[in-house]
Amino acid sequence: MQLLTWILRVVVFLLLLSFATQNSELIALKYYLMDKPVELPLSIVLLVFFAMGVFLTYLSTLLSKYFKK
């Protein structure tokens, strides 16, 4: 079982590495309060917003379980 877990981790890592290399062009992030746009690779921006979505979903689930008790 532990071997299967490590194989799955390696496969996921290789897929993410492939994604990052294919989406390495820079994009400019502009927001109201920033004077200059911030340039970051597309893969990093997608990863950050995906992680924020996972965190907010997890937080929402925890809060709903807490208030149902």
pLDDT in tens, 15-36: 988 988 888 899 998 888 888 9
Taking a C-beta distance cutoff of 8 angstroms, is the pair 42, 23 a contact?
Answer: yes
Distance from the Cα of residue 18 to its chain's centroid: 15
pLDDT score for 28: 92
Q: What is the mean pLDDT of residues 1-25?
A: 90
> What are φ and ψ of residue 26, in 5° steps?
-80, 145
Between CA 54 and CA 3 the distance in angstroms is 27
Taking a C-beta distance cutoff of 8 angstroms, is the pair 20, 43 a contact?
Answer: yes
Sign of torsion, CA 44 45 46 48? positive
* Residue 51 confidence class, pLDDT cut points 50, 70, 90: very high
Percent of the chain with pLDDT over 90: 54
Sequence ranges of the domains in the chain: 2-68
Quick check: 9 pLDDT over 70?
Answer: yes
Full-model pTM: 0.66
